[in-house]
Structure 1
Amino acid sequence: MNYATQMDAARKGIITPQMVTVAQKEQMTPEALRELIAAGQVIIPANKNHKNLDAEGVGQGLRTKINVNLGISKDCPDVDLEMDKVKMALAMKAEAIMDLSCYGKTRDFRRKLVDLSPAMIGTVPIYDAVGFYDKDLKDLTADEIFEVVERHCDDGVDFLTIHAGINRGAAEKIKRRERITNIVSRGGSLMFTWMALNDRENPFYEYYDRLLDICRAYDVSLSLGDGCRPGCLHDATDACQVEELITLGELTRKAWEKDVQVMIEGPGHMALNEIAGNMMLEKRLCHGAPFYVLGPIVTDVAPGYDHITSAIGGAVAAANGADFLCYVTPAEHLRLPDLEDMKEGIIAARIAAHAADIAKGIPGARRWDDTMAQARADLDWEKMLGLAMDPDKARRYRESSQPEQEDSCTMCGKMCAVRNMNRVLAGKDIQLND
């Protein structure tokens, strides 16, 4: 049977090969997964031109996925370094990579990325449009913007971040300057600027059906960007953010009418006590569509440690319904991350995602921890190191400080509680002072 998109197939009762792959990974039946996709509560970003994709699902009842941002810029145009970052992201099991390139031979990099990566690939076409046409932003036409969108789809990108919700109505609220940080979304600010300079409506909003037709043709999922996301705690859950979310809910329904898969991007900075409410609000206003959160960063005062502030927020967000976490590195707000920054950001995001999966009762999530607990109870150091989320770092720490007793560590030595309890319960003597 023929189908246009994963959602189209699901609604026709068709189980696609991608659904089979995802169902196996998620320990669920393909039929149960198909029903969730048909309802828009799960998406499988899977461009028809991404031939080596190892499909992943995002949404209700599935493992929380993480995304890694990278890409070349005018200040940091080193393509080889960015490809090294791609390889690290894949080695560290990121399920998605977003190419945010905005300078130079972006198409060459994007095509290499798609060819190399079994992970799903996302882009933000408006970033690429200015450099591709070598024009000022105000001189870009709507047709040129959509040509870049189609080029990204043709290159095999699985999902696009499109800031269609920041329309002229939302822009008027921003102009009232009730926020401290105004717009911090790069894509949102570009669309705001284009509208202001041209005195026109956002072309992604005005010609949304055209966008949907392109996505349907390639089976590209839409990540509806939150152009009005808060850039500081003060701006969280304000009228700009909520009004845009209402608009994104309306755009979600329109996308579903054309069988285009959708996820919603969520808040950036937000106090800890606001996160659960925001997750519920998104799910209600956007009809249960998967939620992709950028953080949330839970305090504004820790530059250099925002992989931690975002992991705290991400764990709470995912435990309360968010489905997809964008990693944040220690370099956030400061500079382009290097390889070590990337690694710390990925691990922090994976910790947050896994902690949330335990809370959500995702099949198999708790088993990993229980297996580690048993290895610790058995003082099986090799098994503990093998089970670690970052085995290399765990082994490096272990080997850097050798204990007198091989079954302990240098924190407690012979006073190790686990070691002594094992010996006492086995009827053995304990000598602490010899």
Structure 2
Amino acid sequence: MQQYTTQMDAAKKGIITEQMKAVAEKENLDVEVIRARVAAGTIAIPANKNHKALDAQGVGQGLRTKINVNLGVSGDLADNEMEWQKVQTAIELGAEAIMDLSNFGKTHAFRKRLIDAAPAMIGTVPVYDVVGYTGKIVNDLTYKDFLAVVEKHAKDGVDFVTIHAGLTRHTAQKVLDNPRQTNVVSRGGSVLFAWMVHTGNENPFFEHYDELLDILARYDVTLSLGDACRPGSIADATDAAQIEELITLGELTRRAWEKNVQVIIEGPGHMALNEIQANMILQKRLCHGAPFYVLGPLVTDIAPGYDHITSAIGGAIAAASGADFLCYVTPAEHLRLPDVQDVREGIIASRIAAHAADIAKGVPGARDWDNAMSRARQEVNWEKMYELAVDPKKAREYHDSSRPAQEDTCTMCGEMCAMKTMNRILSGEAGCVKL
């Protein structure tokens, strides 16, 4: 039996894996199309060999836009049970990926619980865990410490890891030479920036990139190349630091593919509407068609408390223009750690954005859901409408909170319901509409 090390290695050898079959079935595509695109790097199937509960998903060319849910404890709010409720909410609402961004204490137990139970792709940012894992302060860390944490997460079963390997000392100097409104807003990027400044050394993930790739290939972990220089305000979008890092990410992508490590590229966080499409095209060109993962982008900076909306606007445009993977943003963004309700609202907003983009991109089957909802509305079939709603619970609660005199209408139109009127007329029913 022919052996392979990673999904990409199998695809290059012409081997169709069980994960490729699962993705092909979900996407209504020929499995050979999936295999060929995994081999080319334009589709990634994050699937760690040790994640036994995984229900494999594909991210990339020609596939449905996927969404990711961030959660995890912080030093100020370390409630693992609340985080577990968020996990259950994410699974209930169909999120394809969950990232555990815990950055306080010993994170292993929660991460293992998540991997053992969750069918979603699981991601982490290992640099968040490096201090808790090693017990050292940032200034005392060595490059081996950074790599050891990556290997620990990979061995645990994480399907993809965000690594800010593109923030080189040269790129860091770009940030210093070209002042930004919000400097470096990536948590992982800021840790590496501080470490480089203190030690005078190169980014350990860039300098020891081949060792990193060997670890990821061993467990078949997908490399999500983080954008440490992503804009944290619309003023910083598409600036020298962001573009310089993106060029480096393109070079690192090719090197990863040479070692059969799958790659996802992470993209901008804040960006004016008119810059989004150009940025998507630029990323795809510079990074050789690798799947693109965006946080938002948030299209304005003035909406704290409503950033799930600013994010959904940008996410829909980004995905319609080529992005493949949306990281949700909650109403709590920029304000506090999100609670369970925040997570729910963020997921729904991102799912709407992703689906709207899939319609625009012509993803096979995307319109079928909308057509089914339209038929249910035409039939005034409330139970079917609830069933098809992106958030059935909220749809039912809204309708039931204001009961109409006639049960087959709602309190907006009552007996003047256009659907009822047209159904009566077109069926030949006699009589006039009663007001």
User: TM-score band (shorter)?
Assistant: over 0.9
| Residue 276 of structure 2 corresponds to residue 286 of structure 1 | no
One-letter amino acid matched to 2:140: D
Which deviations, in whole Å up to 9, do the C-alpha atoms of 1:66-118 show, x marking residues without a partner? 00000111111111111111111111110000010111220111111100111
Cα distance between partner residues in 2 of 1:94 and 1:153: 21
Aligned residues: 434
SS class of match (2:67): strand
SS class of match (2:337): coil
Partner of 1:396: 397
8 Å Cα contact 2:225-2:266 kept in structure 1: yes
Partner of 2:108: 107
Partner of 1:169: 170
Partner of 2:309: 308
Cα distance between partner residues in 2 of 1:132 and 1:386: 45
SS class of match (2:243): helix
Q: Following superposition of structure 1 onto structure 2, how do residues 2-151 of structure 1 map, counting pairs within 5 Å? A: 2-151=3-152
- Shift in Å at residue 433 of structure 1? 4.5
Cα distance between partner residues in 2 of 1:384 and 1:117: 28
One-letter amino acid matched to 1:232: S
TM-score, normalised by the number of residues in structure 1: 0.99
8 Å Cα contact 2:168-2:202 kept in structure 1: yes
- Shift in Å at residue 429 of structure 1? 3.7
- Shift in Å at residue 431 of structure 1? 4.0
8 Å Cα contact 2:22-2:56 kept in structure 1: yes
Cα distance between partner residues in 2 of 1:168 and 1:429: 79
Partner of 1:367: 368
SS class of match (1:32): helix
SS class of match (1:55): coil
TM-score, normalised by the number of residues in structure 2: 0.99
Cα distance between partner residues in 2 of 1:433 and 1:120: 54
8 Å Cα contact 1:129-1:148 kept in structure 2: yes
Cα distance between partner residues in 1 of 2:291 and 2:392: 31
- Shift in Å at residue 410 of structure 1? 0.4
The answer to which of 305-314 and 104-113 deviates more is: 104-113
8 Å Cα contact 2:106-2:132 kept in structure 1: no
Which deviations, in whole Å up to 9, do the C-alpha atoms of 1:125-152 show, x marking residues without a partner? 0000012222211111101111111000
Which deviations, in whole Å up to 9, do the C-alpha atoms of 1:183-231 show, x marking residues without a partner? 0011111111110010110000001000000000000000000000000
Cα distance between partner residues in 2 of 1:293 and 1:183: 16
Cα distance between partner residues in 2 of 1:153 and 1:132: 14
One-letter amino acid matched to 1:151: K
Which deviations, in whole Å up to 9, do the C-alpha atoms of 1:365-393 show, x marking residues without a partner? 10000011011111111111111111010
8 Å Cα contact 1:15-1:34 kept in structure 2: yes
Q: Which runs of 5+ in 2 are unaligned?
A: none
One-letter amino acid matched to 2:289: G
Partner of 2:427: 426
SS class of match (1:181): coil
8 Å Cα contact 2:178-2:240 kept in structure 1: no
Q: Which runs of 5+ in 1 are unaligned?
A: none
Cα distance between partner residues in 2 of 1:163 and 1:433: 65
8 Å Cα contact 1:420-1:430 kept in structure 2: no
Cα distance between partner residues in 1 of 2:431 and 2:63: 47
One-letter amino acid matched to 2:129: D
Provide the aligned C-alpha RMSD in A.
Answer: 0.9
Partner of 2:297: 296
